[in-house]
Amino acid sequence: MSCLLQGILILGSLILNDQNSEDFVVYNESKKDFEIVQKRIIDADALEKSWGDLKNYVDGSFNDNELIEKFSVKDGFAKDYKYLKEKNKFLDVITLEMLKQWSENTQKQNVKLDNCEELTETNLTKDVKTKLILEAQRARTFAYAPYSEFHVGSAILTKDGRIYSGCNFENAAYGNTICAERSAIAKAISSENRGISFQKKSNIVAIAVVLRGGGGSPCGNCRQALYEFNPNMLVIMSDIDGKNIIEKRLYELLPMGFGPCALENAKVELKK
Q: Which residues are known to be catalytic?
A: 181
Dihedral sign computed on CA atoms, order 125, 126, 132, 135? negative
207 in Cβ contact with 154 (< 8 Å): yes
CA separation, residue 223 to residues 1, 174, 253 (Å): 55, 20, 7
Helix (H) or strand (E) holding 78: helix 73-87
Q: Rounded distance, CA 260 to CA 42, Å?
A: 57
Q: Give dist(CA 243, CA 214) in Å, integer.
A: 8
Instruction: Tell me the C-alpha to C-alpha distance, in Å, between residue 176 and each of 162, 165, 168, 173, 209.
Output: 28, 20, 11, 6, 20
The type of residue at 234 is: L
